[in-house]
Amino acid sequence: MSRRFEYGKTGLSYAALVLFSMFFLFPLIHVLLISLKSPVDAFAVPTKWLFVPTFEHHRHLWLEKGFARYLFNSLAIGFGTVCISVPAATLAAYGLVRHGGKLSSAILFILLSLRMFPPMLLVIPYFLIARQLHLYDTRSVMILVMVAFNQPFAIWLMRGFMLNVPKELDEAAIIDGCGPVTLVSRVIVPVMLPGMVTTAIFSFLLAYNDYLFALVLTGTHAKTLPVAIGEYGAENILYWSLSAAGVCGVILPVVVIMIFLQRGFVKGLTAGAIK
Amino acid sequence: MKRVQYLYYVIPALVLVSVVLFYPLGYALYYSLFSYTLGAVPEFVGLRNYLRVLLDPGFRHSLLLSLYFTIGVVSLQFLLGLLLALLLDKIAVGKRFFSVVLFIPVMITPAATGLIFRWMFVPQWGIINQVLQGLSIHPPDWFSSPFWALVSVMIAEVWQFTPLVAIVLFAGLQSIPGESLDAAKVDGASGVQLLWSILLPLLRPLILFVLVMRTMDAWRLFDRIFVMTAGGPGTATETVTLYNFRTTFQLLRVGEGLAVGVWTLISLLGVMVIYLRLMFRDTTAS
């Protein structure tokens, strides 16, 4: 479909896109290479592009420095968030779309305005409350906070998908005598599944990518990978290659998700804005 | 099923949001009225924290920095993102491939990209200064000059979230029917005219959406700047959120930190109101 207006040759567009892609991928390739370099190569000027790769940094960091545990914490908090966030958001989106009155518009609007809450304002009460309730430095408190922060976005995302589900579908099921539980499990979940997958991925990323809440709310026990590499990288430039290995570990799950995700992420992302 | 009954499905989400967002918000508003240093007994002072913060030159400095940062970053992201979206729209094969490749930075942990960019900007070994020297440009000392430190955190932000703007605008371009362009082409409109008088007006709701998202996120950005420069050198990159963090968790002045947070919330509400007014004008005009 090259139906667009003419502003230069198509070949030029490809060249420009390739250049842009290199610009956006270069930092990631750079960090991968650093993590595979021996210290001598890592600090060589000019930068060495050909070198004998070593997996020593990765081995040391993941197996001896306990970073595997931080990765586990990050993944556990991510999955925990998904497990609570997605079902709650699916039910809420279903209820709000089918109710469709002034009250549900008001709820949706309040949720949208919650999305602009500054995390920095709430992290202070979280810290104080978590210490009172002895929840400081637990994965549970992180999951709870991430779920709540994610709800507005997740509900709006699911709402975009729900709007495409014909009303007749679930109304017919209700007339046929479906109770609320079967209605959800047999009718709503199957048709909303693609939307739920997209919402799950975005919810996971929100929790997995968090830094501020984990920095304030966790100590040694529930520390997440972003906080751990942030600390480690700050100590000494000589740890360069080691923390580069950590950064690669943070990035890898995201890139894997990206490959599985591909289609539909933009659709979901913009659905709420257009409708 | 009665219509009201549908709202039962919303209860779990509302309970979660109330307990984990509204209760702490109330807590925050309440203690923002206290002189509360961590470890000491809180003492009621009314609105004094809010005033005190406003009179603090450090806070005003951080507001100004956030303003520079947000305006610079969001406008660059918009211009570059629009260019990328047009390029993606133009090509025939590989739209999907390039969208996926370009979207990778958006999804990566900001704290991790902060580390990557810190290494890239490091004076002696950093790859950026090597490239600049290769081009016979005298490289600035990124992290010791207040100006260049701010530029470096801005570059990192532009790198990470320009693709988001591009992909959203690209999705919008794809949904524009070809006929509306063909008609204008028959009338002999040039590329720039098409862009200005047809594409941009059609994309307006999406542009507003993506701009307000980017503005709010840039205004609240904490993790990447904290990891890259920690607000330094001095306070040269200490935006409002970093100022807020230092007040609360390093100076341990909880009451004042909460007041800064509330000021941030108020400024974000302002952005939201402007956005809603623009949207409203949009619907009444058409």
Give the gap in angstroms from C-alpha B46 to the nearest C-alpha of chain A: 18
Alpha helices in chain A (DSSP H): 10-35, 39-42, 56-59, 67-99, 102-114, 119-132, 139-162, 167-175, 180-182, 189-209, 212-217, 225-235, 240-261, 265-274
Please give the pLDDT value at position A234. 59
Give the gap in angstroms from C-alpha B107 to the nearest C-alpha of chain A: 7
CB contact under 8 A, B13 and A91: yes
What is the bridge-based pairing of β-strands B43-44 and B34-35? antiparallel
Q: Length of chain A in residues, anyone?
A: 275
Give the range among A42-46, A249-253, B96-100, B190-194 with minimum mean pLDDT.
A42-46
**How far is it, in rounded angstroms, from Cα A155 to Cα A85?**
9
Q: At A233, is the pLDDT very low, low, confident or very high (cuts 50, 70, 90)?
A: low
| Contact between residue A209 and residue A149 where contact means Cβ atoms under 8 Å apart | no
pLDDT beyond 60 at B284? no
pLDDT beyond 60 at A271? no
The DSSP symbol for A193 reads H
Share of chain B above pLDDT 70, in %: 98
pLDDT beyond 70 at B106? yes
Q: Is A265 on the interface with B (CB under 8 A)?
A: yes
Q: Length of chain B in residues, anyone?
A: 286
State pLDDT tens for residues B196-207: 888 888 888 889
**Which residue is closest to B208 within chain A, CA to CA?**
A273
Residue B109 contacts by C-beta under 8 Å, 6 or more apart in sequence?
A208, A209, A211, A226, A250, A251, A254
Which range, A106-120, B12-26, B271-285, has the best average confidence (pLDDT)?
B12-26
- Average pLDDT, integer, range B123-135: 85
**How far is it, in rounded angstroms, from Cα A46 to Cα B169?**
39
**Which residue is closest to A15 within chain B, CA to CA?**
B87
**How far is it, in rounded angstroms, from Cα A151 to Cα A157?**
10
**How far is it, in rounded angstroms, from Cα A243 to Cα A197?**
32
Residues in chain A closer than 8 A to B272 (CB atoms): 113, 116
Residues in chain B closer than 8 A to A125 (CB atoms): 24-25, 27-28, 31
Q: Is B226 on the interface with A (CB under 8 A)?
A: yes
Please give the pLDDT value at position A117. 85
**Which residues is B35 bridged to in the sheet?**
B43
pLDDT beyond 70 at A218? yes
**How far is it, in rounded angstroms, from Cα A193 to Cα A158?**
10
Q: At B154, is the pLDDT very low, low, confident or very high (cuts 50, 70, 90)?
A: very high
Give the range among A92-96, A240-244, A260-264, B168-172 with minimum mean pLDDT.
A260-264
pLDDT beyond 50 at A70? yes
Write out the two tokens for A213: 């809440």
The DSSP symbol for A47 reads P
CB contact under 8 A, B181 and A262: no
**Which residue is closest to A237 within chain B, CA to CA?**
B119
**How far is it, in rounded angstroms, from Cα A170 to Cα A124?**
43
**How far is it, in rounded angstroms, from Cα B38 to Cα A116?**
27
Which CATH fold topology does B32-285 show?
MetI-like fold (1.10.3720)
Give the range among A4-8, B10-14, B235-239 with minimum mean pLDDT.
A4-8
Please give the pLDDT value at position B246. 94
DSSP string computed for chain B: --TGGGGGGGHHHHHHHIIIIIHHHHHHHHHTTEE-BTTS--EE-TTHHHHHHHH-HHHHHHHHHHHHHHHHHHHHHHHHHHHHHHHHHH-SS-HHHHHHHHHHHHHS-HHHHHHHHHHHH-TTT-HHHHHHHHTT-----TTTSHHHHHHHHHHHHHHHHHHHHHHHHHHHHHTS-HHHHHHHHHTT--HHHHIIIIIHHHHHHHHHHHHHHHHHHHHH--HHHHHHTTT-STTTT--HHHHHHIIIIIS-BHHHHHHHHHHHHHHHHHHHHHHHHHHHHHHHH-
Residue B110, CA distances (Å) to A67, A206, B152, B226, B227 in order: 19, 11, 14, 10, 9
Q: At A272, is the pLDDT very low, low, confident or very high (cuts 50, 70, 90)?
A: very low
pLDDT beyond 90 at A9? no
Specify the residue for token string 């960091």: A61
| Contact between residue B256 and residue B249 where contact means Cβ atoms under 8 Å apart | no
pLDDT beyond 60 at B274? yes
pLDDT beyond 80 at A243? yes
Q: Is B91 on the interface with A (CB under 8 A)?
A: yes
Q: Is A237 on the interface with B (CB under 8 A)?
A: yes
**How far is it, in rounded angstroms, from Cα A86 to Cα A119?**
21
| Contact between residue B208 and residue B282 where contact means Cβ atoms under 8 Å apart | yes
pLDDT beyond 50 at B286? no
Please give the pLDDT value at position A275. 41
The DSSP symbol for A64 reads I
* Residue of B19, B116, B190 to mutate, testing the A interface (most A Cβ within 10 Å of its Cβ): B116
Supply the mean pLDDT for chain A. Answer: 85
Residue type at B217 in one-letter notation: D
Please give the pLDDT value at position A49. 76
CA nearest to B163, candidates A231, A24, A57, A130: A24
State pLDDT tens for residues B257-270: 999 999 999 998 88
- Average pLDDT, integer, range B146-161: 95
- Average pLDDT, integer, range B205-213: 89
Please give the pLDDT value at position A274. 45
Please give the pLDDT value at position A216. 94
Q: At B79, is the pLDDT very low, low, confident or very high (cuts 50, 70, 90)?
A: very high
Please give the pLDDT value at position A61. 81
A102 three-state secondary structure: helix
Write out the two tokens for B163: 């693709």
Instruction: Quote the Cα angle for A28-A33-A39, to 5°.
Output: 135
Interface of B with A in 24-83 (CB under 8 A): 24-25, 27-28, 31
Please give the pLDDT value at position B114. 93
Please give the pLDDT value at position A223. 92
Q: Is B216 on the interface with A (CB under 8 A)?
A: yes
Specify the residue for token string 């200064």: B129
Residue B160 contacts by C-beta under 8 Å, 6 or more apart in sequence?
B105, B106, B108, B110, B113, B224
Q: Is B181 on the interface with A (CB under 8 A)?
A: yes
Q: Is A182 on the interface with B (CB under 8 A)?
A: no
Residue type at B178 in one-letter notation: G
CB contact under 8 A, B13 and A155: yes
State pLDDT tens for residues A137-188: 999 999 999 999 999 999 998 998 888 888 888 888 888 888 888 888 888 8
Q: Is A205 on the interface with B (CB under 8 A)?
A: yes
CA nearest to A224, candidates A250, A248, A200: A250
Q: At A270, is the pLDDT very low, low, confident or very high (cuts 50, 70, 90)?
A: low
Give the gap in angstroms from C-alpha B73 to the nearest C-alpha of chain A: 16
pTM to 2 decimals? 0.89
A159 class by beta-carbon count within 10 Å (0-12 exposed, 13-18 middle, 19+ buried): buried
Residues in chain B closer than 8 A to A47 (CB atoms): 127, 130
**Which residue is closest to B121 within chain A, CA to CA?**
A27
State pLDDT tens for residues B11-66: 999 999 999 999 999 999 999 999 888 878 888 988 999 999 999 999 999 999 99
pLDDT beyond 60 at B219? yes
Instruction: Quote the Cα angle for B250-B256-B262, to 5°.
Output: 115
